[in-house]
Amino acid sequence: MMSIVKIPDAGGDNITFLEVDGHLYPNAPVDYPVEVAVKGMRDLPIREDDVFVCAYPKCGTHWVWEMVRLLLSGDTETVINKERFMLELTGNDVLEKFPSPRILNTHCLVEQLPRGVFEKKCKIIYILRNPKDMAVSFFHHHKKLTKCYEYHGKWENYFPFLLDGKVDYGSFFTYMKEWAAIGTTHPDLPTLTLVYEDLKEDPLSGIRKLAKFLNAEKSEEFYLQVKELTSFNKMKESKGKFFEEPDGSAIMYRKGEVGDWKNYFTVAQNEIFDRRYKEHMADCEINFRYTLQ
């Protein structure tokens, strides 16, 4: 069953989501019925050359997706590609029309991926971002996409709401633990983990890793072109235009910085976050960089 739910933050401001089978999704203004897309996801016919780009929201999914597209196509003429739909927001009949190799992105949990991914051992690119910057970026995402979320709350009330995992795609603690365990739960799946902060600091190194993983190695000149075309400003200029503010500014691309969380987290919030992180992630060792220095 699908239903529209309104969940209040700590200050009583509601955020609107779609709930399908106990999971929350964005109430996105997409052409396809989200319930049908979500329920059909597990049964999507998978091709051996499908590539999956997976990350929790606001961790660089579309940034890396574009790098992958450029590397696999060998084409640096344009960055804009309208067929960048999320797996969970696009129906199987639409996805089946995409030419190979398909680059399919999703924010869903490992076990929500199509069954064929595990049978055909598709390549998966997983992106990690430090959760403090992710939290701030997600706050602005929920505030700015008013047609989806109808949210007008404040950071201090959003913060505990996010920590409790009441947002679309659920708790980021659960998400990170599931994906961190993929080497154990699905050891046969070829998986490359990229770290957002590393990509920001040295995008060329990340692009080379991607090229090698995808068996799509190119010249250093090509990598430099990919770096330029996928720079934050270029992405904001092109892809940002799919979602705009009334004044024409991009919604989906705000700052893309490392360390912006320091402008939002109070000392008390930082202590609360660190304590909750240790409680939830005690058995999962991930060392994040919260600044680039």
Active site residues: 107
Residues contacting 128, CB < 8 A, separation 6+: 55, 59, 176, 193, 194, 195, 196, 286, 288
How far apart, in whole angstroms, are the C-alpha atoms of residue 232 and residue 219? Answer: 22
DSSP per residue, 54-113: E--TTSSHHHHHHHHHHHHHT--S----S---BGGGS-HHHHTTSPSSPEEEE-S-GGGS
**What SS3 string covers 35-47?**
HHHHHHHHHCCCC
Tokens read off for 220: 């250093």
Give the residue from 71, 91, 75 showing the smallest Cα distance to 31.
91
Angle, CA 251 vertex, CA 123 and CA 274 arms, to 5°: 70
